[in-house]
Amino acid sequence: MTPRLVLATRNAHKVVELRAILAETGLDVELVGADTYPDIPDVKETGVTFAENALLKARTLADATGLPAVADDSGLCVDVLGGAPGIFSARWAGTHGDDAANLALLLAQLGDIDDPHRAAHFACAAALALPGGTERVAEGRLRGTLRRIPTGTNGFGYDPILQPDGDTRTCAELSPDEKNAISHRGKAFRALAASVAELVR
C-alpha cells in the first residue's frame, strides 16, 4: 500500500508543483493537500525563520492526522531591504496571499533602486514531521535580480519579477519543468526527499 504524505498547504499551485518535484525523485508516496482534511485549522506562522514556520505547519498536520506531513515556508529576500519581505512575503501588503498587492508594494518600494542593486533570492525551508516526533528540514535558494515590470503568466507570488541569475526570463516565463529544476522549492524538496524515502513507509 502506497504511504500517504500530507502537504500542509491549501494552495493548489503548491500541491501540483510538489507532486511534480517529488515524482522526479522516484518517491512512491500519495501526496494530498491539507484540504483533504478540512476540519484542521490553519496554523499561525509565529516562527521568525522559514525553517521554524515550516516545522510548525508540518508538526501540526502530523499531530492532527496521524500521518507523515511535509510543509514549506518560502519567500523573497531582497538584498537592499536587508532580506525583507522574507517570512512576511505572502502578506507584505497586509492581506495574506494578495499577490498583486504584494508585487505592487514591493516594486513601489524599490522604484528608485538602480538595476545593479536589485539582487534578491527566493528562499525555501521544507520540513518533514512524523507523528512520533521525528523531524527533518532542508533548505534551498534561487538567486536572481528583480525586474521593474512583472513579466510572464506562469508561476505565482513574486515569480513575475525575479529573473534567475544566468537567464533572461523571469520565473513566471519559465515552463513548470524549467522552474522546478532550479527553484528554491525544488532544491529544498529534492534535498528532503532522501529523508522521506528513509522515514515514510
Q: Which residues are catalytic?
A: 73
| CA distances for 55 relative to 44, 61, 82, 158, angstroms | 12, 10, 24, 23
Cell numbers standing for residue 22: 517529488
State the residue for C-alpha cell 512524523: 130
Of the candidates 10, 19, 2, 3, the one whose C-alpha atom is nearest the C-alpha of residue 189 is: 19
- Element housing 64 (H / E): helix 50-65
d(CA 185, CA 164) in angstroms, rounded, equals 14
Of the candidates 111, 94, 201, 95, the one whose C-alpha atom is nearest the C-alpha of residue 161 is: 111
